[in-house]
Amino acid sequence: LFSESVTHVISENNCSAEVRTWLESQGGGQSLGVHLLDISWYTESMRAGHPVVITDRHKLQLNTYVMELHFLDEDGRGVAFRRAAAVLKALPAQVTSMSQLRGLPCLGEHSLRVIKDVLENGESSEVESTKQSERFKALKILTGIFGVGAKTADRWIREGIYNLQQLRDSGHALNQAQKAGLEHYNDLNQPVTKAEANAIGEIVQKAVISVLPGSQIALTGGFRRGKLTGHDVDFLITHPEEGREVGLMSKVVSWLESQGFLLYQKTTRNSYLESKDGPARPASNMDRFERCFSIFKLTKGEEQGTTQPEKNGVQTMDNRLWRAVRVDLVVSPISQFAFAVLGWTGSKLFERELRRWAGHEKDMSLSSHAVFDNKQNRYLRATSEEEIFAYLGLEYIPPSERNA
Protein backbone atom coordinates (compact mmCIF):
# COMPACT_ATOMS: atom_id res chain seq x y z
CA LEU A 1 0.00 0.00 0.00
CA PHE A 2 2.71 2.43 0.94
CA SER A 3 5.32 1.72 -1.64
CA GLU A 4 3.36 3.61 -4.18
CA SER A 5 3.72 7.16 -5.01
CA VAL A 6 1.52 10.07 -5.29
CA THR A 7 -0.07 12.32 -7.75
CA HIS A 8 0.46 15.53 -9.51
CA VAL A 9 3.63 16.95 -10.89
CA ILE A 10 3.88 20.64 -11.46
CA SER A 11 6.75 22.46 -13.01
CA GLU A 12 9.15 24.39 -10.87
CA ASN A 13 8.17 27.71 -12.25
CA ASN A 14 4.75 27.15 -10.76
CA CYS A 15 6.34 27.47 -7.33
CA SER A 16 6.85 30.63 -5.42
CA ALA A 17 10.47 31.45 -4.55
CA GLU A 18 9.74 30.54 -0.98
CA VAL A 19 8.45 27.13 -1.97
CA ARG A 20 11.47 26.48 -4.14
CA THR A 21 13.84 27.40 -1.34
CA TRP A 22 12.03 25.13 1.02
CA LEU A 23 12.04 22.27 -1.45
CA GLU A 24 15.74 22.67 -2.03
CA SER A 25 16.32 22.61 1.71
CA GLN A 26 14.44 19.29 1.72
CA GLY A 27 16.98 17.79 -0.60
CA GLY A 28 15.46 18.66 -3.93
CA GLY A 29 17.73 19.94 -6.62
CA GLN A 30 17.47 21.99 -9.76
CA SER A 31 15.33 19.53 -11.61
CA LEU A 32 12.89 19.15 -8.83
CA GLY A 33 9.45 17.85 -9.65
CA VAL A 34 6.85 18.64 -7.08
CA HIS A 35 4.45 15.85 -6.32
CA LEU A 36 1.19 16.84 -4.89
CA LEU A 37 -1.25 14.60 -3.26
CA ASP A 38 -4.11 16.71 -2.16
CA ILE A 39 -4.83 18.94 -5.06
CA SER A 40 -7.15 21.27 -3.28
CA TRP A 41 -4.87 22.22 -0.43
CA TYR A 42 -2.21 22.67 -3.02
CA THR A 43 -3.70 25.89 -4.32
CA GLU A 44 -4.69 27.02 -0.87
CA SER A 45 -1.16 26.53 0.39
CA MET A 46 0.33 28.10 -2.68
CA ARG A 47 -1.84 31.14 -2.22
CA ALA A 48 -0.88 31.36 1.40
CA GLY A 49 2.76 30.99 0.36
CA HIS A 50 3.27 27.86 2.43
CA PRO A 51 5.68 25.25 1.27
CA VAL A 52 3.84 22.40 -0.34
CA VAL A 53 5.04 18.85 -0.36
CA ILE A 54 7.11 17.07 -2.00
CA THR A 55 9.21 14.94 -4.21
CA ASP A 56 9.75 11.30 -4.70
CA ARG A 57 8.75 7.84 -3.67
CA HIS A 58 10.01 6.86 -0.27
CA LYS A 59 7.92 4.72 1.92
CA LEU A 60 7.61 5.40 5.55
CA GLN A 61 7.12 3.02 8.39
CA LEU A 62 5.06 5.70 10.00
CA ASN A 63 2.39 5.32 7.38
CA THR A 64 1.55 1.92 8.67
CA TYR A 65 0.80 3.29 12.08
CA VAL A 66 -1.33 6.07 10.77
CA MET A 67 -3.23 3.60 8.65
CA GLU A 68 -3.78 1.28 11.57
CA LEU A 69 -5.45 4.15 13.29
CA HIS A 70 -7.79 4.25 10.37
CA PHE A 71 -9.43 1.19 11.85
CA LEU A 72 -10.33 3.22 14.89
CA ASP A 73 -12.53 5.19 12.60
CA GLU A 74 -15.75 5.30 14.52
CA ASP A 75 -16.52 8.93 14.03
CA GLY A 76 -15.47 9.59 10.47
CA ARG A 77 -11.79 10.23 11.13
CA GLY A 78 -10.74 7.73 8.50
CA VAL A 79 -10.35 10.26 5.75
CA ALA A 80 -8.22 12.51 7.94
CA PHE A 81 -5.86 9.61 8.64
CA ARG A 82 -5.77 8.67 4.99
CA ARG A 83 -4.79 12.20 4.08
CA ALA A 84 -2.12 12.24 6.74
CA ALA A 85 -0.77 8.92 5.48
CA ALA A 86 -0.75 10.24 1.93
CA VAL A 87 1.28 13.26 3.02
CA LEU A 88 3.83 11.08 4.80
CA LYS A 89 3.97 8.79 1.81
CA ALA A 90 4.96 11.67 -0.42
CA LEU A 91 7.74 13.05 1.73
CA PRO A 92 11.18 13.03 0.12
CA ALA A 93 12.91 11.44 3.06
CA GLN A 94 12.30 9.41 6.17
CA VAL A 95 10.91 11.51 8.97
CA THR A 96 13.25 11.56 11.94
CA SER A 97 12.06 14.61 13.79
CA MET A 98 8.81 16.43 14.28
CA SER A 99 10.36 19.63 12.97
CA GLN A 100 10.36 18.12 9.48
CA LEU A 101 6.59 18.11 9.57
CA ARG A 102 6.18 21.77 10.32
CA GLY A 103 4.02 23.56 7.81
CA LEU A 104 2.79 20.38 6.17
CA PRO A 105 -0.90 20.16 5.46
CA CYS A 106 -3.33 17.43 6.47
CA LEU A 107 -1.49 16.44 9.64
CA GLY A 108 -4.02 16.89 12.40
CA GLU A 109 -3.48 16.84 16.12
CA HIS A 110 -4.22 13.15 16.41
CA SER A 111 -1.96 12.07 13.54
CA LEU A 112 0.84 14.22 14.91
CA ARG A 113 0.44 12.64 18.34
CA VAL A 114 0.87 9.19 16.83
CA ILE A 115 3.88 10.22 14.78
CA LYS A 116 5.51 11.82 17.81
CA ASP A 117 5.00 8.66 19.81
CA VAL A 118 6.57 6.57 17.04
CA LEU A 119 9.56 8.86 16.76
CA GLU A 120 10.15 8.93 20.50
CA ASN A 121 9.27 5.37 21.48
CA GLY A 122 9.58 3.36 18.30
CA GLU A 123 5.88 2.65 18.31
CA SER A 124 2.60 4.28 19.16
CA SER A 125 1.13 2.98 22.39
CA GLU A 126 -2.32 4.02 21.23
CA VAL A 127 -2.00 2.10 17.96
CA GLU A 128 -0.43 -0.90 19.64
CA SER A 129 -3.11 -1.17 22.28
CA THR A 130 -5.76 -0.75 19.60
CA LYS A 131 -4.22 -3.53 17.57
CA GLN A 132 -4.15 -5.78 20.64
CA SER A 133 -7.76 -5.11 21.52
CA GLU A 134 -10.30 -7.85 20.99
CA ARG A 135 -12.61 -5.40 19.31
CA PHE A 136 -10.02 -4.40 16.71
CA LYS A 137 -9.12 -8.01 15.97
CA ALA A 138 -12.77 -8.94 15.62
CA LEU A 139 -13.46 -5.98 13.34
CA LYS A 140 -10.61 -7.05 11.10
CA ILE A 141 -11.77 -10.64 10.93
CA LEU A 142 -15.45 -9.88 10.40
CA THR A 143 -15.04 -7.07 7.86
CA GLY A 144 -12.74 -9.46 6.02
CA ILE A 145 -15.89 -11.33 5.02
CA PHE A 146 -17.11 -10.21 1.61
CA GLY A 147 -20.51 -8.58 2.14
CA VAL A 148 -19.82 -7.50 5.71
CA GLY A 149 -19.19 -3.83 6.42
CA ALA A 150 -18.18 -2.04 9.59
CA LYS A 151 -21.79 -1.58 10.69
CA THR A 152 -22.70 -5.25 10.52
CA ALA A 153 -19.41 -6.27 12.11
CA ASP A 154 -20.02 -3.85 14.93
CA ARG A 155 -23.50 -5.25 15.58
CA TRP A 156 -22.16 -8.79 15.71
CA ILE A 157 -19.34 -7.80 18.04
CA ARG A 158 -21.86 -6.27 20.42
CA GLU A 159 -23.60 -9.65 20.39
CA GLY A 160 -20.34 -11.32 21.37
CA ILE A 161 -19.33 -12.62 17.93
CA TYR A 162 -15.58 -12.21 17.49
CA ASN A 163 -14.59 -14.80 14.90
CA LEU A 164 -15.83 -16.91 12.02
CA GLN A 165 -16.65 -19.94 14.14
CA GLN A 166 -18.75 -17.89 16.54
CA LEU A 167 -20.53 -16.40 13.56
CA ARG A 168 -21.25 -19.84 12.08
CA ASP A 169 -22.47 -21.06 15.46
CA SER A 170 -24.64 -18.00 16.04
CA GLY A 171 -27.29 -19.14 13.60
CA HIS A 172 -27.45 -15.66 12.06
CA ALA A 173 -29.17 -15.67 8.71
CA LEU A 174 -26.53 -14.49 6.25
CA ASN A 175 -27.33 -13.03 2.87
CA GLN A 176 -26.01 -14.64 -0.32
CA ALA A 177 -22.96 -12.37 -0.49
CA GLN A 178 -22.00 -13.08 3.10
CA LYS A 179 -22.48 -16.82 2.64
CA ALA A 180 -20.14 -16.74 -0.34
CA GLY A 181 -17.76 -14.48 1.59
CA LEU A 182 -17.60 -16.92 4.48
CA GLU A 183 -17.20 -19.90 2.21
CA HIS A 184 -14.27 -18.37 0.30
CA TYR A 185 -12.85 -16.42 3.22
CA ASN A 186 -9.22 -17.53 2.90
CA ASP A 187 -9.05 -17.07 -0.85
CA LEU A 188 -10.67 -13.65 -0.78
CA ASN A 189 -8.28 -12.44 1.90
CA GLN A 190 -5.29 -13.44 -0.15
CA PRO A 191 -4.04 -10.71 -2.48
CA VAL A 192 -4.84 -11.08 -6.16
CA THR A 193 -1.68 -10.98 -8.29
CA LYS A 194 -1.18 -9.16 -11.56
CA ALA A 195 -0.84 -12.53 -13.30
CA GLU A 196 -4.20 -13.60 -11.91
CA ALA A 197 -5.75 -10.28 -12.95
CA ASN A 198 -4.44 -10.84 -16.48
CA ALA A 199 -5.83 -14.37 -16.56
CA ILE A 200 -9.24 -13.06 -15.51
CA GLY A 201 -8.94 -10.29 -18.09
CA GLU A 202 -8.59 -12.91 -20.80
CA ILE A 203 -11.72 -14.68 -19.61
CA VAL A 204 -13.75 -11.47 -19.44
CA GLN A 205 -12.47 -10.46 -22.88
CA LYS A 206 -13.58 -13.79 -24.30
CA ALA A 207 -16.98 -13.43 -22.65
CA VAL A 208 -17.75 -9.96 -24.02
CA ILE A 209 -16.53 -10.82 -27.52
CA SER A 210 -18.63 -13.98 -27.53
CA VAL A 211 -21.86 -12.24 -26.58
CA LEU A 212 -21.34 -8.97 -28.48
CA PRO A 213 -18.51 -8.75 -31.02
CA GLY A 214 -16.79 -5.38 -31.00
CA SER A 215 -17.22 -4.87 -27.27
CA GLN A 216 -14.22 -3.54 -25.41
CA ILE A 217 -12.92 -4.03 -21.91
CA ALA A 218 -10.56 -1.93 -19.81
CA LEU A 219 -8.75 -2.97 -16.66
CA THR A 220 -9.33 -0.28 -14.03
CA GLY A 221 -8.79 -0.04 -10.25
CA GLY A 222 -5.44 -0.56 -8.59
CA PHE A 223 -4.01 -2.72 -11.36
CA ARG A 224 -4.38 0.12 -13.85
CA ARG A 225 -2.41 2.28 -11.42
CA GLY A 226 0.41 -0.23 -11.63
CA LYS A 227 -0.18 -2.01 -8.34
CA LEU A 228 1.22 -5.52 -8.27
CA THR A 229 -1.57 -6.92 -6.09
CA GLY A 230 -5.13 -5.99 -5.23
CA HIS A 231 -8.12 -7.10 -3.23
CA ASP A 232 -10.12 -7.54 -6.42
CA VAL A 233 -9.98 -7.04 -10.18
CA ASP A 234 -11.99 -4.21 -11.72
CA PHE A 235 -13.15 -4.11 -15.35
CA LEU A 236 -15.06 -1.60 -17.38
CA ILE A 237 -16.96 -2.82 -20.44
CA THR A 238 -18.31 -0.77 -23.33
CA HIS A 239 -19.18 -0.90 -27.02
CA PRO A 240 -18.12 1.73 -29.59
CA GLU A 241 -21.71 2.15 -30.81
CA GLU A 242 -23.78 4.02 -28.25
CA GLY A 243 -26.72 1.94 -27.08
CA ARG A 244 -25.28 -1.44 -28.03
CA GLU A 245 -24.12 -1.87 -24.43
CA VAL A 246 -27.72 -2.07 -23.21
CA GLY A 247 -28.38 -5.57 -21.92
CA LEU A 248 -24.73 -6.50 -22.27
CA MET A 249 -24.10 -7.23 -18.60
CA SER A 250 -26.72 -9.95 -18.26
CA LYS A 251 -25.41 -11.66 -21.40
CA VAL A 252 -21.82 -11.53 -20.17
CA VAL A 253 -22.84 -12.89 -16.78
CA SER A 254 -24.88 -15.69 -18.36
CA TRP A 255 -21.93 -16.64 -20.56
CA LEU A 256 -19.56 -16.69 -17.60
CA GLU A 257 -22.03 -18.72 -15.57
CA SER A 258 -22.59 -21.23 -18.35
CA GLN A 259 -18.82 -21.77 -18.55
CA GLY A 260 -18.59 -22.33 -14.80
CA PHE A 261 -16.48 -19.25 -14.07
CA LEU A 262 -18.71 -17.73 -11.39
CA LEU A 263 -18.99 -18.79 -7.77
CA TYR A 264 -21.19 -15.80 -6.95
CA GLN A 265 -22.62 -12.79 -8.72
CA LYS A 266 -24.99 -9.97 -8.03
CA THR A 267 -25.83 -7.42 -10.67
CA THR A 268 -27.23 -4.00 -9.88
CA ARG A 269 -29.03 -2.07 -12.57
CA ASN A 270 -28.01 1.18 -14.15
CA SER A 271 -30.23 4.04 -13.10
CA TYR A 272 -28.40 7.02 -14.50
CA LEU A 273 -30.32 9.37 -16.75
CA GLU A 274 -29.03 12.91 -17.14
CA SER A 275 -32.38 14.46 -17.96
CA LYS A 276 -34.19 12.80 -15.09
CA ASP A 277 -31.54 12.92 -12.45
CA GLY A 278 -30.09 16.31 -13.14
CA PRO A 279 -26.46 17.22 -12.67
CA ALA A 280 -24.15 14.59 -11.37
CA ARG A 281 -23.80 15.17 -7.69
CA PRO A 282 -20.23 15.40 -6.47
CA ALA A 283 -21.15 14.29 -2.98
CA SER A 284 -22.21 10.89 -4.19
CA ASN A 285 -19.45 8.31 -4.39
CA MET A 286 -21.60 5.64 -5.86
CA ASP A 287 -22.10 5.74 -9.56
CA ARG A 288 -25.05 4.26 -11.27
CA PHE A 289 -23.64 2.07 -13.97
CA GLU A 290 -24.79 -1.45 -14.38
CA ARG A 291 -22.42 -3.23 -12.06
CA CYS A 292 -21.73 -6.85 -11.21
CA PHE A 293 -20.06 -7.83 -7.96
CA SER A 294 -18.76 -11.32 -8.53
CA ILE A 295 -16.52 -14.07 -7.28
CA PHE A 296 -14.62 -15.86 -10.02
CA LYS A 297 -13.43 -19.42 -9.93
CA LEU A 298 -9.94 -19.14 -11.36
CA THR A 299 -8.06 -22.27 -12.33
CA LYS A 300 -4.56 -22.21 -10.91
CA GLY A 301 -1.61 -22.59 -13.19
CA GLU A 302 0.54 -25.53 -12.18
CA GLU A 303 3.26 -23.25 -10.85
CA GLN A 304 0.77 -21.53 -8.60
CA GLY A 305 0.02 -24.44 -6.23
CA THR A 306 0.43 -22.59 -2.95
CA THR A 307 1.01 -23.53 0.63
CA GLN A 308 -1.24 -21.77 3.03
CA PRO A 309 -0.73 -21.46 6.76
CA GLU A 310 -3.53 -23.08 8.67
CA LYS A 311 -5.00 -21.67 11.85
CA ASN A 312 -2.95 -23.99 14.09
CA GLY A 313 0.21 -22.85 12.41
CA VAL A 314 0.81 -26.07 10.47
CA GLN A 315 1.60 -25.53 6.81
CA THR A 316 -0.56 -27.64 4.57
CA MET A 317 -0.37 -28.00 0.84
CA ASP A 318 -3.43 -26.58 -0.79
CA ASN A 319 -4.17 -29.05 -3.54
CA ARG A 320 -7.20 -27.34 -4.90
CA LEU A 321 -6.89 -26.57 -8.58
CA TRP A 322 -8.66 -23.23 -8.36
CA ARG A 323 -8.98 -20.17 -6.21
CA ALA A 324 -11.76 -17.63 -5.65
CA VAL A 325 -11.15 -14.06 -6.80
CA ARG A 326 -13.33 -10.98 -6.34
CA VAL A 327 -14.10 -9.35 -9.67
CA ASP A 328 -16.11 -6.19 -10.35
CA LEU A 329 -17.62 -5.67 -13.78
CA VAL A 330 -19.08 -2.35 -14.84
CA VAL A 331 -20.81 -1.53 -18.13
CA SER A 332 -20.67 2.02 -19.44
CA PRO A 333 -22.09 3.58 -22.61
CA ILE A 334 -19.28 4.85 -24.84
CA SER A 335 -20.38 8.47 -24.32
CA GLN A 336 -19.49 8.21 -20.62
CA PHE A 337 -16.54 5.86 -20.99
CA ALA A 338 -13.76 8.40 -20.33
CA PHE A 339 -15.46 9.53 -17.13
CA ALA A 340 -16.02 5.94 -16.10
CA VAL A 341 -12.36 5.04 -16.67
CA LEU A 342 -11.25 8.05 -14.66
CA GLY A 343 -13.71 7.31 -11.87
CA TRP A 344 -12.91 3.61 -11.66
CA THR A 345 -9.16 3.90 -11.78
CA GLY A 346 -9.00 5.39 -8.28
CA SER A 347 -7.47 5.52 -5.80
CA LYS A 348 -10.44 6.34 -3.64
CA LEU A 349 -8.61 9.22 -2.01
CA PHE A 350 -7.48 10.51 -5.40
CA GLU A 351 -11.07 10.42 -6.70
CA ARG A 352 -12.27 12.24 -3.63
CA GLU A 353 -9.66 14.98 -4.02
CA LEU A 354 -10.35 15.30 -7.72
CA ARG A 355 -14.07 15.77 -7.11
CA ARG A 356 -13.31 18.25 -4.40
CA TRP A 357 -11.03 20.15 -6.72
CA ALA A 358 -13.70 20.19 -9.43
CA GLY A 359 -16.28 21.57 -7.03
CA HIS A 360 -14.22 24.05 -5.07
CA GLU A 361 -11.85 25.32 -7.69
CA LYS A 362 -13.84 24.98 -10.89
CA ASP A 363 -17.46 25.07 -9.81
CA MET A 364 -17.96 21.80 -11.66
CA SER A 365 -19.57 18.56 -10.56
CA LEU A 366 -17.48 15.55 -11.52
CA SER A 367 -18.77 12.00 -11.39
CA SER A 368 -18.02 8.71 -13.13
CA HIS A 369 -20.65 9.68 -15.70
CA ALA A 370 -20.01 13.28 -16.60
CA VAL A 371 -18.76 16.65 -15.60
CA PHE A 372 -21.33 19.38 -15.16
CA ASP A 373 -20.22 22.99 -15.42
CA ASN A 374 -22.34 24.92 -12.96
CA LYS A 375 -21.38 28.29 -14.41
CA GLN A 376 -22.34 27.33 -17.96
CA ASN A 377 -25.15 25.16 -16.68
CA ARG A 378 -24.29 22.34 -19.06
CA TYR A 379 -22.50 19.02 -19.34
CA LEU A 380 -19.06 18.95 -20.90
CA ARG A 381 -18.34 16.03 -23.21
CA ALA A 382 -15.09 14.13 -23.21
CA THR A 383 -13.73 11.14 -25.05
CA SER A 384 -10.48 10.83 -23.11
CA GLU A 385 -9.16 11.29 -19.60
CA GLU A 386 -6.82 13.99 -20.95
CA GLU A 387 -9.80 16.13 -21.95
CA ILE A 388 -11.31 15.81 -18.49
CA PHE A 389 -8.10 16.93 -16.78
CA ALA A 390 -8.01 19.85 -19.20
CA TYR A 391 -11.57 20.87 -18.25
CA LEU A 392 -10.44 20.76 -14.63
CA GLY A 393 -7.48 22.98 -15.38
CA LEU A 394 -4.99 20.27 -14.41
CA GLU A 395 -1.99 18.77 -16.11
CA TYR A 396 -2.66 15.17 -17.08
CA ILE A 397 -1.92 12.84 -14.18
CA PRO A 398 -1.06 9.32 -15.33
CA PRO A 399 -2.66 6.40 -13.44
CA SER A 400 0.63 5.42 -11.81
CA GLU A 401 0.61 8.79 -10.03
CA ARG A 402 -2.91 8.41 -8.67
CA ASN A 403 -2.00 6.19 -5.75
CA ALA A 404 -2.58 8.79 -3.03
Q: Does 221 bind Mg ion (CB under 5 A)?
A: yes
Catalytic residue among 56, 328, 363, 373: 328
28 vs 221, which CB is nearer to Mg ion? 221
CB of 342 to Mg ion, least distance (A): 15
Catalytic residue among 232, 277, 363, 373: 232
Instruction: Name the residue with the smallest CB distance to Mg ion.
Output: 221
Catalytic residue among 234, 287, 363, 373: 234
91 C-beta neighbours (distance < 10 Å), count: 23
Q: Is 149 exposed, middle or buried (0-12, 13-18, 19+ CB in 10 A)?
A: exposed
Query: Following DSSP, what letter does each residue of 174-237 receive, concatenated?
Result: P-HHHHHHHHTHHHHTSPEEHHHHHHHHHHHHHHHHHHSTT-EEEE-HHHHTT-SEESSEEEEE
Q: Does 399 bind Mg ion (CB under 5 A)?
A: no
CB of 324 to ligand DCT, least distance (A): 15
Q: Contact with Mg ion (CB under 5 A): which of 196, 232, 351, 385?
A: 232
Whether 56 is catalytic is no
Residues that bind ligand DCT (CB under 6 A): 221-222, 227, 230-232, 234, 285, 343-344, 346-348, 351
Of 91-99, 192-200, 231-239, 319-327, the window that binds Mg ion (rule: CB under 5 A) is: 231-239
CB of 97 to ligand DCT, least distance (A): 33
Choose the contact partner of 287 out of ligand DCT, Mg ion, none; CB within 5 to 8 A by kind.
none
Query: HSE on the CB side for 174, CA within 13 Å?
Result: 22
230 vs 282, which CB is nearer to Mg ion? 230
Cis (ω within 30 of 0) for the bond into 125?
no
Choose the contact partner of 21 out of Mg ion, ligand DCT, none; CB within 5 to 8 A by kind.
none
| Vertex 135 angle, CA 132 and 139, to 5° | 105
Of 200-208, 233-241, 278-286, 309-317, the window that binds Mg ion (rule: CB under 5 A) is: 233-241
14 C-beta neighbours (distance < 10 Å), count: 14
Distances (CA, A) of 293 to 54, 147, 181, 211: 37, 10, 12, 19
CB 364 within 8 A of CB 271: no
Whether 232 is catalytic is yes
Residues with a catalytic annotation lie at: 232, 234, 328
- The residue ranges that bind Mg ion (CB under 5 A) are 221-222, 230, 232, 234
